[in-house]
Amino acid sequence: MLAMSRVAGAGLAALLYIAKKAAAHEYHDDEIPEGQAVSAKPIDSILWIHILIQILAFGIVFPTGMVLGIVRSRWHVPLQTLGAILAIVGYFLGHAHGGRQFAHNIHASFATWLMLMLIAQVVIGIYLKLHLEKGLHARIRRWVVMTHGVIGKAMPVVSWVQMLFGGITALGFCRGDHLGQCLAHFIMGSAFIGYGIILTILLLVGQLWLKRTGRSQEFFDSLLIAAWGCVNTFTEHRWGRPWVKNDLQHTSMGIVWWCAGLLGVWLSKKRDGRPKRNLFPALVIMLTGWGMSAHPQSFELSTHVHSVFGYTLMAAGAVRIVEISFVLRDRNVLDEGDVEETSSFQYLTPFLLYTSGFLFMGATEEQMALLAGAHVTHVSYILLLFSISFLLFLFVTMLLHIYASYVWPIDPAAPKMNGAAGPRLNGHVRGDSQRLRDAEEFELEGLMSEDEGGEAAEGGTATMKENVTPA
């Protein structure tokens, strides 16, 4: 116990030193030409290593560790420890590079907050591993566990933002008159990717939760679309000033979103209160894609990229309509008896949303000017963005597979259905109620101590033996 306390103290001191170094980071403005955000020197090897290490830590290790933490895997702590070590090494490399120098930037400023989150997460994790469960500790442990979970789940989102800031800073983009367009592209593009990830989660592991809410997926989709439309309606134009460029088109899109969103919310329930599917969120996606594909652009390359972005978004909406109307036939799932059953066709909509997001984020004026100057064709660039989408989709589905494998394990010795092992227990299909209980056990287990968890496991085993008849 004393050794762990010493380790915790040393770790906390090291991380506080990192935060102090971030606040005192110097910027070599003397090497940067006037009116520019970066020097003319190329990125050196140390900075490239910093980039790769931080992508590995915050983009792969921490999200994987988060999922392992949700399912209470013994690999959670080792993996998150590895991620913290990589993050610290990458941080110091980011302050030790030569080559290209940068003016004061959002990436360096936001790094301080990201490292403070890491400090909090490490300290809370060490505290929980000490298993202090008497007196005051017993009363606050539940809230400490919840805080640990919230920070852990927020870390991938915050890391995504920081990685975007890093790319923007490395190229010296999104300053001055370009800031507004950058915000629009990166926020909207990230929103499409986030929406795609949510659809993937609901498709693969979220149908039971959706069933428990008593609402259709279109209710939540339409609610989000309506809220986003209200924001866009009043933020895409600087009120009191002349209408310029695409202000009117962006504002009209916002109006369409909240109008269609309200309609979708209204149609998401039957008269008796049961959830009902509808096509209006998909129709809004199609209309948005059509509008974006017709945006006037300054570069031919930008015109091509925006067109493909629009067509991809239209395809996502069209595929969604086909999925609801013809694949699912207005049901929530393919098979009401097995909510994990999915059609290969259902993967298309979330993937196309991922791709739409990357295409839109990669279509800012400064990016298009850089690529046009380097004589990069739109075909090569678009194929590269599709490749990134494939990799992200692969990573998300792998994480969801890990989660499902722990929460709903498949017995390899169980009888098979249609040549494939089904999610059975002693030869009997596990019903929705049993799956819900399994998921709730995992949710509650994070609030228990190891002793309580062991007792609960024994009780659960006894209950299972009582409720399941031998095959």
pLDDT tens figures, 320-369: 999 999 999 988 887 766 667 889 999 999 999 999 999 999 999 999 99
At 420 the three-state DSSP class reads strand
Cβ atoms of 51 and 166 within 8 Å: the answer is yes
Backbone angles phi, psi at 286, to 5 degrees: -65, -45
* pLDDT value of position 443: 46
Q: Does pTM top 0.95 for this prediction?
A: no
Structure token digits, residue 439: 């998921």
Structure token digits, residue 202: 């609901």
Of the candidates 209, 321, 228, the one whose C-alpha atom is nearest the C-alpha of residue 275 is: 209
Out of 215-219, 331-335, 461-465, the most confident range is: 215-219
* pLDDT value of position 454: 44
Chain CA centroid to CA 322, Å:
26
At 416 the three-state DSSP class reads strand
* pLDDT value of position 231: 84
In eight-state DSSP terms, residue 56 is: I
Cβ atoms of 62 and 118 within 8 Å: the answer is no
Spell out a b/e string for 27-48, using b for 16 or more CB atoms within 10 Å of the CB, else e: eeeeebeeeebbbeeebeebbe
* pLDDT tens-place string over residues 96-154: 888 898 988 999 999 989 999 999 999 999 999 898 888 888 899 999 999 999 999 99
Confidence grade of residue 458 (pLDDT, cut at 50, 70, 90):
very low
